[in-house]
Amino acid sequence: MALVIPKESYSGKIYNVTLGTGAKAVTIGGASALPYLAFEGTFPNKPAVALEVTDIAPDDWPETVKKAVSGAASNPVQWAKFCQQNGADAVALRLIGTHPDQQNKSAEEAAKIAAEVAAAIDIPLIILGSGHVEKDTQVLQAAAAATRGKNCTIGKAVEENYKTIAAAVMANDHKLIAMSQLDVNLAKQLNILLSQMGFDKERIIMDPMSSALGYGLEYTYSVMERIRQAALLQNDPMMQTPVVCDIGANVWKVKETMAADAEVPEWGSLEDRALAWEAVTASAMITAGADMLIMRHPGAAAKTKELIAELMG
């Protein structure tokens, strides 16, 4: 019996989305088959790996990752340059200092930092709010205006605040991250809402809500697999936006990336364990179809880029 390779016939394709400007601009998306099945589709762009920086000193990051970005982390501009030098495809600036429970920095202050970071690097910039639904609308509006012309990726717009953020992104010609909570239908719904307000769906990047290895990773994994199947096999245009996974923020708050060797001897060395935690989480998201990852540890990001290179063949 000869083997006939069982191929899927795909009717859909992921949109190409270009981030940033100039020679270091990055295009993501474009896949025409389920992840890495090159025998039945094409993958014109490799997933991008962004490294995260924060507007204020990352006091709540665990030691292992703080050490890995040491020296640079006290100043977001320095830190962003450090990420660029360390091979990041993009920098993700998280304006955590604007959160009312943090330093409650003003939208103007945040926008100024965003503009400085954007000016200091030539790789694409992702600008993330603090996750505070109301505050993010002001902060991201100001940041979008201050970085006009840089083709930044701005988010995260959620169901409660997408209108203002999307409008600012549209007015200043950026790209938008739209986040929903671990549900295929909610992800689609948000893309539909955005389209209904006239936002170009080919400027959206979907965030299905990430999770860390060991802490609900399988939910994100399966939601992403289903999103990709809907996009490619059912040709659902509302699911054909590239996907970003914001994993660093999830990985670097679980016990496995913090507990000292002596505390849990059966878990082995903290340094290795913590790096592996982010690297394996990244591997899972890549396997499920992520087009972009936001990571924290430069070492884990470098290993992820190696994996991506091997997958692209």
Partner 1 sequence: MALSGVEIFKHLPKTNCKKCGHPTCLAFAMKLAAKQASLDACPDASEDAKKILGESAAPPIRGITLGLGDKAVKVGEEICLFRHDKKFFNPNVFAVAIKASEAGDAAAKKIDAVKNSEIDRVGQKLRVDAIAVTDEGGDAAKFASVVKQVVDGAPGVPIILVSKDPATIEAGIAHCADKRPLIYAATAENAEAMAKIAKEKKASLAIAADGLDALTALSEKVKGLGVDDLVLDSGARKVKDMIEHYTIIRRAAIKKNFKPLGYPIIAFAGRDNSVSETMAAAIGTMKYASIIILNNVEKWKMLALLSLRQNIYTDPQVPMQVAQNVYKVGDAKDSSPLMITTNFSLSYFIVRGEVENSKVPAWLAVMDNEGLSVLTAWAAGKFTAGKIAAFITESGVEKNIKHKELIIPGYVAILSGALEEKLPGWKITVGPREANGLPSFLKGRA
Sign of the dihedral defined by the CA atoms of residues 103, 106, 107, 111, in that order: negative
Residue 234 in tokens: 């059912």
Q: Which is nearer to partner 1, 1 or 262 (CB)?
A: 1
C-beta of 61: minimal distance to partner 1 in Å?
11
Q: Which is nearer to partner 1, 173 or 271 (CB)?
A: 271
C-beta of 34: minimal distance to partner 1 in Å?
8
Q: Which is nearer to partner 1, 146 or 288 (CB)?
A: 288
Q: What are phi and psi of 142, to 5 degrees?
A: -65, -40
Would you give the DSSP letter of residue 205? E
C-beta of 240: minimal distance to partner 1 in Å?
19
Q: Which is nearer to partner 1, 98 or 229 (CB)?
A: 229
C-beta of 301: minimal distance to partner 1 in Å?
12
Q: Answer whether 72's CB lies under 8 Å from 50's CB.
A: no
Q: Which is nearer to partner 1, 18 or 102 (CB)?
A: 102
Q: Write the CB contacts of 90 (distance below 8 Å, at least 6 apart in sequence).
A: 19, 20, 26, 48, 49, 50, 51, 123, 124, 125, 126, 153, 292
C-beta of 180: minimal distance to partner 1 in Å?
14
C-beta of 52: minimal distance to partner 1 in Å?
16
CA-based end-to-end distance of the chain? 30
Q: Write the CB contacts of 236 (distance below 8 Å, at least 6 apart in sequence).
A: 12, 188, 230
Q: Which is nearer to partner 1, 173 or 183 (CB)?
A: 183
Question: Which residues are near partner 1 by CB under 8 A?
Answer: 1-6, 35-39, 60, 100-101, 131, 182, 211, 213-219, 221-222, 225-226, 229, 253-256, 266-269, 272-273, 275-277, 279-280, 283-284, 287, 303-304, 306-307, 310-313
Q: Which is nearer to partner 1, 200 or 263 (CB)?
A: 263
Rounded to whole angstroms, the Cα distance separating 11 from 235 reads: 5
Q: Which is nearer to partner 1, 61 or 79 (CB)?
A: 61
Q: Answer whether 116's CB lies under 8 Å from 125's CB.
A: no
C-beta of 226: minimal distance to partner 1 in Å?
6
**In b/e form, how buried is each residue of 97-116, taking b as 16+ CB within 10 angstroms?**
bbbeebeebebebbbbbbbb
C-beta of 216: minimal distance to partner 1 in Å?
5
Q: Which is nearer to partner 1, 131 or 237 (CB)?
A: 131
Closest CA to 70 of 60, 82, 81: 82
The size of the chain, in residues, is 313
Rounded to whole angstroms, the Cα distance separating 232 from 95 reads: 34
Beta-strand ranges (E) seen in 114-243 are 125-128, 153-157, 175-179, 204-207
- Determine the Cα angle at 291 with ends 11 and 120, to 5°: 140
C-beta of 86: minimal distance to partner 1 in Å?
16
